[in-house]
Amino acid sequence: MTLLQAAPQWTLTAVSYGTADARTLTRALHQEQMATYGSADDPEATDSAEFDAPNGQFLLARLGDGPALACGGWRALSPSTAEIKRMYVAPAARGQGLGRRILAALEQDLLGRGHTEVLLETGVHNTAALALYTACGYEPVRSYVPGRNPDINRALKKAVLQLVAPHRLTGLPT
């Protein structure tokens, strides 16, 4: 007799930016950015409290009870502006829509918090991220971070009113 087991599901969980799993993924992101561009913001320089509710959120994605394989967060830049930051999917988990799920969950969390726009930044060579953000309604803008190299960095913006409808998410507090 063979028992059929349901495939494990991806879960998104809100965590502190300072957790070991979050730091592992943000360090991996940093290593990829350094290898691609020769420079990158140090994720260790970001205060964990910047992603604490109600002025932020940091998410991890796991398959079943496995290791965290993707992450992303938002933080308030001002009362009217939020920033999506540290979006990353480990190579082994790419191509499964995790970036889109994390982005949608972060956008959903932003709703009703008083922000009128969401900013984010990625690199010119990160074509998958650029395609995702464009498909999700983000439009190019001038860099909002002083000193950025326009040959490397791409800044994008989206009005909060354009944020997507919620996706069914598991593992998130309501």
Q: What tens digit of pLDDT does each residue of 21-36 get? A: 999 999 999 999 999 9
User: What is the spatial distance between Cα 74 and Cα 82, in angstroms, rounded to a whole number?
Assistant: 7
Arithmetic mean of pLDDT over the chain: 90
pLDDT of residue 169 exceeding 80: no
127: Cβ contacts below 8 Å, ≥ 6 apart: none
Query: DSSP string of 89-123?
Result: E-GGGTTSSHHHHHHHHHHHHHTTSS--EEEEEEE
Do 91 and 48 meet the contact criterion of CB atoms below 8 Å apart?
A: no
Q: Report yes or no: 127 and 154 within 8 Å, Cβ to Cβ.
A: no
